[in-house]
Amino acid sequence: MKRVLLLLLLSIFISCNDGDVIVTTFDFDDASLQACAGDVGFLFYKINDGGTESLSFRIGISEQQFTTNNTLVSQFNGSGIFANYRIYDGTVTNSYFCNEIPPTTPNVSIEYVANSGTSTLITTATFDDNDRLERVDSNDEDDEGTGDKDKDGIPNYYDFDDDGDNVPTIDELDTENVDGDNNPLTNPLDTDGDTIPDYLDEDDDGDGILTRDEANGTLDPTLIVNGFGVPNYLNASAIDEVVVEEFREHNYDFDSDIQLILTNLVLINGDEEITRETLNMGIIESILTGNTLRTPAFPED
């Protein structure tokens, strides 16, 4: 019969083939979750305080997994997704896992492999469109919150262009710092004086033509294509219209944290098993940061 090792904080002594005695605690509660990216995906691992035991989990995902808020639930399959628990004859360090060619020492004395179980990888990403507007807790479409003024699928708080007029939000605020307070919200541009700031106004100059349609057929309304010295969208006397039903490319920064949880884990070494119903591997903050480019789909009428 298989012996089930009930491993909480109890030390169990296991004899190796060479006669050495290895002490294992299977105690990773105080160990930090670490990660390495490779050609076949990501390796997540923990090293116990003594440095002689590791618990690792590999899954075939790319960095793209960490660019959005999502939860990925996967079943172990023994190849692309698996976990193992190792006991070493010496102290193991991060370099053992993160080098393309692992060091020759320490040696693995005992290894338990899990070919069954479930992994839950939770990604929590923070987004920033760098428009200097402070995010608020609101779903109103005119606030810098989760509302979506232009219906492009990107909430205002990280929408490069809140009103969808193809002029970046940051260029429609108090760009000249007229009032001298360095706050772009206290005096945002309002070209037509209708009390709707330009960054929320689809028709900035109030001439009845959408700002987006005053770009001479391009995706950049800020181009000067007339003899007035200012772009058409800021001049009510310029009424040339070319309908544009396309958004320009957006970009925003992201900073992603992850949490990894393993459930129904069964680690096997010959006739021995280590089972865990739930194993919270931990959290990695800022596992990936960067900038995302995205062209939103134009909403249908």
Q: What is the pLDDT of residues 18-69, one digit of tens each?
A: 334 344 578 898 999 999 998 889 999 999 998 999 999 999 999 999 999 9
Alpha-carbon torsion, ordered 81, 87, 88, 94, to 10 deg? 50
- Nearest Cα residue to 150 out of 173, 126, 166: 166
Please list the alpha-helical segments (H only) found in the chain.
94-98
**Partners of 254 in beta bridges:** 127, 290
| Region of residue 200 (left: phi > 0; alpha: psi -120 to 50; beta: else) | alpha
pLDDT at 17: 38
List all residues 6 or more positions away from 101 whose beta carbon is below 8 Å from its beta carbon. none
15 has a pLDDT exceeding 50: no
pLDDT tens readout for residues 114-157: 988 999 999 999 999 999 899 999 999 999 999 999 999 999 99
Q: What angle do CA 77, 79, 80 make, to 5 degrees?
A: 85
Position of tokens 């807790």? 137
Query: Residue 125 and residue 287: Cα distance in Å, rounded?
Result: 10
> What is the pTM assigned to this prediction?
0.80
Percent of the chain scoring above 70 in pLDDT: 92
